[in-house]
A and B are shown apart, each in its own frame.
Chain A
Amino acid sequence: DAGITQSPRYKITETGRQVTLMCHQTWSHSYMFWYRQDLGHGLRLIYYSAAADITDKGEVPDGYVVSRSKTENFPLTLESATRSQTSVYFCASTWDRGSSPLHFGNGTRLTVT
C-alpha cells in the first residue's frame, strides 16, 4: 500500500538495550524526518534526511543514530536505551522544502523500563 509505515507500533524494552524503529515510505519522497512527542513539548526533531546518504541532526539527537542507504527507508536506532527516551516516535516524509506538508506515519510508542 502507498504511504508511510512505521514498525513496530508498540515496543517495550529495557534500559541499555539497542532498539531500532523502522520507517518506510512508498512515495520516493526526498525528505524524511524523525520526531519524538512528549507531553508539554509537542514534537521535537531528532534527525532528518534530505536524500539517501544525507542526514543531519535536529533539536534532540543525543542517544540516537540514523541511516538512509535507500530513499524509502529511514531507520532510527537507540544505541543504549534510557528511560528518558520513553516517548512516541513519528517518522515523516515530504517532497520538497516548500509548502508541501509532511506526511506522518502512525507513530511508535516506545517504553523503556
Chain B
Amino acid sequence: AQTVTQSQPEMSVQEAETVTLSCTYDTSESDYYLFWYKQPPSRQMILVIRQEAYKQQNATENRFSVNFQKAAKSFSLKISDSQLGDAAMYFCAYRTRIQGAQKLVFGQGTRLTINP
C-alpha cells in the first residue's frame, strides 16, 4: 500500500523568506500524481500545486514550487517570499492512477507558522 510521510510536524519562517516542506512517499507504481493541499484555520482544503509523475519538470504556481525527485520518492514544497496568509496546515498527497484503486493518500501534515 502507498504511504506518504511528512517528517516535519511544525515549521516556522520569517515573513518574506523562503521555506521548504518535506514529503516522501512509498510506492511500487511508476505512474501517479502528487499534490500539496493547504488547510487554513477555516478548515477549508485548498489545492496548492500538483505534479504528474511522468513529467520531469517541476511544477510551479506563482510563489509555490516543488522539487520532485522520482527516484528518491521525494516531493518537497518550496514557498518563496512567505506571507502571513501562508500560515496553515500543509498536506502532501499521493493519487494512484490504476483503475479500481482510486484514492488520495495523505501525509500527516506540517503546520506552518509565519513570523512577522
Contact = CB atoms under 8 A, between A and B. Distances in A.
A33 interface: yes
Interface in A51-85: 58
Interface string B33-58: 10100000011110100101000000
A92 B108 CA distance: 18
Contacts, number: 50
B44 to A, nearest CB: 6
B103 interface: yes
Nearest to B43: A107
User: Interface size bucket, B side?
Assistant: 20 to 34
Contacts of B105: 45
Given A43-B91, A107-B43, A102 B107 contact: no
Interface of B: 4, 6, 33, 35, 42-45, 47, 50, 52, 91, 95, 97, 99, 102-109
Interface of A: 31, 33, 35, 40-45, 48, 50, 58, 88, 90, 92, 97-99, 101-102, 104, 106-107
